[in-house]
Amino acid sequence: NIIHLPKTIDNDIWGTDMTFGFQSAVNIATNAIDCIHTTAASHGRVFIVEVMGHKVGSLTLHAGIAGGADIILIPEIPYDIEKVVAAIQKRSKAGKRFTILAVAEGAISKEDALLSKKDSVSYEIADKITQKLGSEVRITVPGHTQRGGAPCAYDRVLSTRIGAGAAEAILDGEYGIMIGIVNGKIKRVPLEECAGKLKMVSPKDQTVKAAKQIGISFGD
């Protein structure tokens, strides 16, 4: 008799719009990007902030937008390093002395997309940018700090609702389900519908579209 509660900072579980843990991790990753802005601006450097996410880029996407990153690289949208460099050059020509890249652990180039995925590409990207622009590139890795700390209010409310939904399902004697949230409402999702599936970021996602509309580059 199993009832699954969707907890992950990656928000990659099929069958629920939101997992608890995600928004708290977004807050931490966003704060890391916020903190980098001061140094990036004063030193006129390119900074890479590596955000967790080997297979799914939701965390990097949301933290990148919230933190004001100029370039966001996620696994679902293979990047072209030439376009990444072009985006940095465009900022320089516009008089903007620094660039911040939010890079998911599992971000891959278009060439590497044809091969097996790598664990991390931040240092590879930094080397290529340095080779092409001669710019000094610094890398910041918040790492496992994104998985801890005090949960945000949103996650506290969400996990309370999901927990209450699980208790209600037990009272009803209904098992083999996940308690998800769909369109703002608690929903019981059969495990066979969500097990083994990842909820990826679609390149056509409205959030991706909005990011591009305000000038953020995805290197594609």
- Give catalytic residues, as residue numbers: 10
Q: Which helix (H) or strand (E) holds 32?
A: helix 22-43
- The four Cα atoms 51, 55, 56, 62 give a dihedral, to 10 degrees, of 10
**CB proximity list for 96: less than 8 A, separation 6 or greater:** none
How many angstroms separate the CA atoms of 60 and 102, rounded?
Answer: 6
120 and 164 Cβ atoms separated by less than 8 Å: no
Rg of the chain taking only CA atoms, in angstroms: 19
List strands edge to edge, sheet with 3-4.
Answer: 3-4, 177-182, 185-190
How many angstroms separate the CA atoms of 137 and 145, rounded?
Answer: 22
How many angstroms separate the CA atoms of 214 and 65, rounded?
Answer: 10
